[in-house]
Amino acid sequence: MHAAMKHAVLEPLEGENEWYAHIPELPGLWATGATEKDARSELFSALDGWLHVNAFHGSRDKLPRIDGLSVYDPPQRTE
């Protein structure tokens, strides 16, 4: 999730006091917030749900690797 969040794009919404956030590599994933920080936090929460739905409930397309990481790779131990 942190690798994907490095690709987050945040933009102020024109004419509104709100921010829009999305990750271009992950279609359909977006969030908004009153501040840039709020939008980033909402995007992180949305990413968790987005990954669960798309990876584990039958997305037709395999999710892309981001920074060499994939949700399909087995977990690696860290010591």
The residue extents of the domains of the chain are 2-56
For the cut 90, the answer to whether the pLDDT of residue 55 exceeds it is: no
Strand pairing category for 30-33 and 19-22: antiparallel
Closest by CA to 42, choosing from 57, 32, 34, 50, is: 32
pLDDT above 80: residue 9: yes
Considering only residues 47 and 70, tell me which one the structure prediction assigns the higher pLDDT: 47
Q: What is the pTM of this model?
A: 0.74
20 and 9 in contact (C-beta within 8 Å)? no
Pick the CATH number of 2-56 from 3.40.50.300, 3.30.160.250, 1.10.260.40, 3.30.70.1290: 3.30.160.250
Asked whether 25 and 61 are in contact (CB, 8 A), the reply is no
